[in-house]
Amino acid sequence: MNSKNDRILRVHRTKAQARETYNKISRVYDYFAGIFEKKYRNRALTLLNIKKGEIVLELGFGTGHCLKKMAELVGEEGKVYGIDISSRMQEVSKRRLQKAGLLDRVELYCGDALELPYEDNKFDAVFMSFTLELFDTPEIPKVLDEIKRVLKPGGRLGVVSMSKEDGDSLLLRLYERLHEKFPQYIDCRPIYVEQSIRGAGFEIKYKEEVKLFGLPGEIVIAKKLLNSTLPNNIPSD
């Protein structure tokens, strides 16, 4: 780890605890977290520029709002895949997609994104909204490597995440203290988003800084290099 990543807080709750928590809050998630996430996930999806006929993947699909939008964007010729650790979130998403008449365009999987159940070079685009910061610090590069594996050469990655780039503001320090005190319930924490994605060997195409009730966040759009054999530490142009 470099010095910046050494300053990212760890995630101390287990995957079993995460699964249990998200199963419990699946029916009410949209009433609190979903409200402030909507603006930024919609902005990121617009920037990701999903097209008709594409094959796309969402990691941590939650209650399925983005899955629905992605299914509309790819049309009948495309396909949407999603993976989430919570089976209850999967049930909520299925009901949303079924109500919209889009379930036949989407294939959902309940599992851990550290091991994606998809073949190499499958997807035109991968999307993550407030998901990357849920992984423990040593897991972040592993998740990004898995994304790079399943993306087609030149494929796109869109990430919305809490960010630590804004330094150590009082509000940020307060949030991090709450994360350390209540790790099972406040399990996400700010990370170095652009740096993590660039370090995984992606080319950064666009970055936008946002504020989440005063807390810093980032929207990053990146591209898998056409030559995927390049070492991960080669910077983009």
Please check the confidence at residue 9 and state whether its pLDDT lies above 80.
yes
7: amino acid identity, one letter: R
Whole-number pLDDT of residue 231: 41
Report how far residue 196's alpha carbon sits from residue 218's, in angstroms, rounded to the nearest whole number.
12
> What are the φ and ψ backbone dihedral angles of 14, each rounded to 5 degrees?
-85, 165
Whole-number pLDDT of residue 6: 62
Please tell me whether the overall predicted TM-score, pTM, comes out greater than 0.75 for this model: yes
Angle of helix 87-99 versus helix 65-74 axis, rounded to 10: 50
Whole-number pLDDT of residue 31: 72
Please check the confidence at residue 236 and state whether its pLDDT lies above 60.
no
Domains of the chain: 3-224 (3.40.50.150)
Q: What is the pLDDT of residues 147-200, one digit of tens each?
A: 999 999 999 999 999 999 866 678 888 889 888 888 777 788 999 999 999 999
Q: Which residue has the higher pLDDT, 203 or 235?
A: 203
Please check the confidence at residue 24 and state whether its pLDDT lies above 80.
yes
Q: Which residue has the higher pLDDT, 45 or 237?
A: 45
Task: Answer for the pair 157, 213: CB distance below 8 angstroms, yes or no.
Answer: no
Q: What six digits make up the tokens of 14?
A: 């287990």
Task: Give the number of other CB atoms < 10 A from CB of residue 213.
Answer: 8
User: What letter would DSSP give residue 187?
Assistant: -
Whole-number percent of the chain with pLDDT over 90? 70
Q: What six digits make up the tokens of 201?
A: 């060997």
